[in-house]
Amino acid sequence: MISQELYALISRLEITAKKQVSGPLLGESRSARIGSGFEFNQLRDYIPGDDIRFIDWKASARSSKMLVRQYLEDRNRTLYLVVDLSESTSYGTTSKDAHPVTKSDLMKQLAGVLAFVSLHCKDSVGLVIFTDTVEKVIPPRQSRNHTISLLNTLFTYEPKSKRTNFEAPVEYLSRLKGQKALVCFLSDFIAPLEHYERRLASLARRHDIMAFRCLDPKERHFPQVGTLIFEDAELDVQATIAGQKERVFNQSLTEWHTAQRDRLNAARIDCLDIEVGTPFTGPLVSFLRYRAFRD
């Protein structure tokens, strides 16, 4: 049973999606073909080879030329939300209403907006939750009740493992049968990608893949506060960085994030960076519209 508080949050995400959606943000879902689909599009001149069953005889008699009825063919897509819930995503240094906001909070809300955009586009949406294994899969379906149930699962799911391994979701997605799908990876992409570049590239040739890299501001630039003690949330190990080395450390951090983005781009995967505590709807809509109209 979904809690009242969570239902209110999901409803706000739906409202946000409805306000922002004003076109096929996830790509065209329909195309014009003769005799396909159910929605009438237009009359056009008959071309030899057209199915004579779709000749509009009344319109042809009025115009003194042969006309056929053209319909919009439904080409609903399938969206897979592939969400990283490893322990590193529980990190957060910003707060809202005295509560810490984590990267996983951001990913879940972002997934909610994407799910409702998909629903608006009459696409099917499915969910893949992963850590170092694929822990939960909800097959894609197209309905509001399904979308709300899917998000309820995402917001309440407790992962079994702390670690991250991109091989697990890539392997699962590579086994999917059927038509080309839209795959949205939501992760901090802290785990190395160099071992999966070829497989990601192979997957991107079969499906349309987007990456949403969600990071905390402190993961982009650490402040000058003296000696820093780091703990790896996934491996439970600590490291100390002396204050004098902060500049070198921040430079290495920038190079790491740049290298990760370059690996995604090399695999022909578009990436949008979003920071915890920063409104994401504007950048998200711009990113999706750019991709929709570019394609």
Q: Mean per-residue pLDDT for 8-33?
A: 68
Fold that domain 4-20+77-294 belongs to in CATH:
Rossmann fold (3.40.50)
pLDDT score of 222 more than 80: no
Q: What is the pLDDT of residues 129-145, one digit of tens each?
A: 999 999 999 999 999 99
Taking only the tens place, the pLDDT of each residue in 266-285 is 999 999 999 999 999 889 98
- Residue 128 reports pLDDT greater than 90: yes
Rounded to whole angstroms, how far apart are CA atoms 144 and 124?
A: 10
Domain ranges of the chain: 4-20+77-294, 30-74
- Give the pLDDT of residue 94: 80
- Amino acid 204: pLDDT: 94
Q: Flag whether pLDDT at 36 surpasses 60.
A: no
Residue 69, phi then psi, degrees to nearest 5 = -90, 130
Global pTM value: 0.79
| Through-space distance between the first and last CA atoms of the chain, rounded to whole angstroms | 40
Looking at 80-84, 86-90, 190-194, which range is the least confident one? 190-194
Average pLDDT over residues 165-192: 92
- What mean pLDDT value characterizes the chain? 84
Q: What is the DSSP string of 168-224?
A: HHHHHHHT--SS--EEEEEE---S--TTTHHHHHHHHHHSEEEEEEEE-GGGT----
